[in-house]
Amino acid sequence: MVKTIRVSEDYHEWLTAHNEPGETMEETLRRMTRGPHPEDVAGLLTEAEADAAKEAIQDLRGRDRDRLSTARRAFDDGDHDK
């Protein structure tokens, strides 16, 4: 099954710029979005460091949700008849 995704023109240009010869867009996306193999990073952090990193990520995600909620409220409270 083939699916179509919508991306901004800027993102498409960026992705196209990173497309290697003979590579499909799917292959480029997979390569660009794939993180390192777990075996390549195993043991780089102590358990305490890994826990601190996870907490920092959760904090950032929470702030992003808060900013999105604030933007939605500002938009919903705005005057749309102008």
Domain regions of the chain by residue span: 1-34, 43-82
**pLDDT tens digits for range 24-77:** 988 898 888 887 767 788 889 999 999 999 999 888 888 888 888 888 888 888
Per-residue pLDDT band at 2 (split at 50, 70, 90): confident
Percentages helix, strand, coil for the chain (3-state, rounded to 5) are 65, 0, 35
Asked if 28 and 19 count as a contact pair (C-beta separation under 8 A), the reply is yes
Model-wide pTM > 0.95: no
Q: What is the pLDDT, as a whole number, of residue 54?
A: 92
